[in-house]
Amino acid sequence: MVTVTQSNQFALGQRFNAARAAYEANRAAEAVSLLQPVIQAEPRSAPAQHLLGLCLLALGDLNGAEQAMKASLGADKKRPAVHVSLAEVFNRAGRAGDAEKAFRNALALDRLYIPAVRGLADLLINQSRAAEALQLTTPVVAGAEAPPPVLDLHAEALRQAGRLEEALACLERSVAAGSRRALLEMVGLLRDLGRYEDAAAVARRAHEAIGDHPAVLTVLGRAQQDLGRLDEADAAYRKALTFDPFDPMAHQALADLLWTRTADPEKASTPLDSVLRQRSTPMLIALKAKMLTRAGKPEQAYEILADAARQLPDDPLIQAAAATAAVYAKQIEAGLAHAERAAALAPEVARIRALLAETSLAAGQPERASQIAGQLLAAHPFDQQFISLQALSWRLLGDARYQGLYDYDAMVRDFIIEAPDGWSSLEAYLADLAATLKGMHAMRGDPLDQSLRNGTQTEQNLALSADPVIQAFFRAVQAPIRAYMSGLGKGRDPLRARNQQDYRVKGAWSVRLAPDGFHADHIHPDGWLSSAFYVELPKAVDQNGQEGWIKFGQPGAPTRPALEAEHFVKPAPGKLVLFPSYMWHGTVPFSGEETRLTLAFDVVPGR
């Protein structure tokens, strides 16, 4: 250690202040050079080591940043700011578990330390741990001077917990405190509540307050699209791209709109292709690959992602996208290699680990997939995707526990609803419901991110519709839903463990399939119970084997060996089919010239 005299101490203090000024001016490399003599002279200086860690973090040196932060804490463990900085290093490294511990160490020193509250709440929300996030943020937002960032996080946790009206009130407080971000969040929340005119009004208000920012214009476009103002939505998305031609959210929104509006993959990808010829970004490459896959060109999708993965070997999202594309292009071993690389780069990201399990199933490694699924379920016991992965693993392994998750007799039930009050017969009601729903199918093509093929889907949440015909439907299905819950009973499995006396409809939509249309096999990750209600059916349902029937058990992702459907239910007008959201299901294509009209919804426990 260098002996520090009084004059040296003054000089070191000056260097430290100069380093801090350089860091604050975004000159991190210069700050590191200035700090070296300070660290050499006083290696146990907690402030100097902390500043060094911040500089190294800004330079992308995560290992060096971690060492410096730990050295700072070694000198003084009672600095909550350093614990938060260490958590930020762990977050950047994809080490969510370590980040959580560091945030909690900061809060142990000061339970209302705002940077720690914000950081941990954000982490918990990203892991769908809304109840824990609310416990953290509630004491802060109880104060009259709660900071807008915490109010915004509290609102997001309330939204995740299904407490939408409370979330809206929280965002209104944040807006009153000066948060512009809260205005954008309010638009999404109002859309969730089915208040589309209000959402559009707030979107316009955000545009007036913030101006022509791509995020604002994209939110404005989505609000216009909800109201059926498709030309205005198209114009808003395109205007967003004039300010940032590479904005991924504006490209996603415009591609979705063009895909459903034109049913033409080439037209839908034209704006994206024009910017990819200039410069590519990981998110835009992933979007282009998704569009190619949906257009029936998985080999081309994997080709562009494989090239991106070679150029960006340390980008976990690109590696994950390449894994998915490779599997659909039947390049299973390459897909597994990409998934393993993504998981190594981001071991704490649950969805990437789930992708590794999924890819392992495609590669014929159900033991490995089962182990990963079990680890994921230990942390997220009711995650529908993780349950589905465990079920597939057990089925391939011949594990008897599979039958407990896929008990078709107990878990897939159908009911014929009663005619709602105000209609003389079920047939009369179904005729009115069909007319109402057909008027809502304004698009020409199937949505880019949904399971249907060769059909259309309504965009608004029908559970929030003010239309009396649709409101009558949700009254009519109350008795079947409660009968299903009663028949299911209580239990320790992930379906019965959540069975409560109350339920709420999470979302509802209608699908109109054209001849040769079908639903690709899928699950519903945001539900507990899912459904299919049959409004109007083609004659092929009764005439040609199992055409147009709903099928269960065949996964939408490849497995080795391939798994076929195990259970079928024949549709009938007025029939409601209820089943677990984690259960793989799809439909059989049908022939003829008629369409197939359905209404579906997801249910979650609670009010």
- Check which CATH number belongs to the domain holding 538 and give it: 2.60.120.620
Question: What single-letter amino acid sits at 475?
Answer: R
Helix (H) or strand (E) holding 292: helix 282-294
Q: Indicate the angle between helix axes 350-362 and 332-345, nearest 10 degrees.
A: 160
Query: Is 175 within the bounds of a domain?
Result: no
Query: Is 266 within the bounds of a domain?
Result: no
Question: Domain boundary at 90, 110, 130, which?
Answer: 110
DSSP 554: -
CB atoms within 10 A of CB 494: 21
CB-based contact 303:325 (threshold 8 Å): no
CB atoms within 10 A of CB 215: 16
Query: Is 196 within the bounds of a domain?
Result: no
Beta carbons within 8 Å of 425's beta carbon, 6+ residues apart:
419
Question: Domain boundary at 59, 81, 110, which?
Answer: 110
Question: Domain boundary at 110, 126, 151, which?
Answer: 110
Mean pLDDT by 10 residues, the chain (607 residues): 60 91 96 94 94 95 96 96 96 85 97 96 88 95 93 95 92 93 93 90 94 94 92 96 96 94 90 93 93 92 96 93 96 98 89 97 98 92 96 98 98 98 98 96 79 87 93 98 96 95 92 94 96 97 92 97 98 98 97 96 89
The full 3-state SS of 131-182, as one line of letters, equals: HHHHHHHHHHHCCCCCCHHHHHHHHHHHHHCCCHHHHHHHHHHHHHCCCCHH
Q: Rounded to whole angstroms, what are the CA distances from 267 to 256, 262, 442, 446, 484?
A: 11, 7, 18, 14, 45
CB atoms within 10 A of CB 595: 20
Beta bridge partners of 510: 599
Reference 53, options 86, 29, 75, 76; nearest CA is: 86
CATH number of the domain to which 93 belongs: 1.25.40.10
Q: Rounded to whole angstroms, what are the CA distances from 493 to 426, 498, 580, 605?
A: 36, 9, 12, 15
Beta carbons within 8 Å of 95's beta carbon, 6+ residues apart:
347, 348
Instruction: Give the per-residue pLDDT at 6.
Output: 59
Domain of residue 94 covers: 1-110
Query: Is 491 within the bounds of a domain?
Result: yes
CB-based contact 420:475 (threshold 8 Å): yes
Query: Is 443 within the bounds of a domain?
Result: yes
Most distant CA pair in the chain: distance in Å? 97
DSSP notation for 409-448:
HHH-EEEEPPPPTT-SSHHHHHHHHHHHHHTT---SS--T
Structure tokens, 8 = 């040296």
Please give the angle made by the CA atoms of 372, 373 and 375, to the nearest 5 degrees.
65
Query: Is 310 within the bounds of a domain?
Result: no
Instruction: Give the per-residue pLDDT at 134.
Output: 97
Exposed/middle/buried for residue 424 (C-beta within 10 Å: 0-12, 13-18, 19+) = exposed
Helix (H) or strand (E) holding 505: strand 503-519
Helical residues (DSSP H) of 477-584, grouped into ranges: 478-488, 540-543
Exposed/middle/buried for residue 486 (C-beta within 10 Å: 0-12, 13-18, 19+) = exposed
CA-CA-CA-CA torsion for 457, 461, 464, 466, nearest 10 degrees?
-40
Q: Tell me the pTM.
A: 0.84
Exposed/middle/buried for residue 28 (C-beta within 10 Å: 0-12, 13-18, 19+) = buried
d(CA 339, CA 353): 8
Query: Is 490 within the bounds of a domain?
Result: yes
Domain count, the chain: 2
Query: Is 542 within the bounds of a domain?
Result: yes
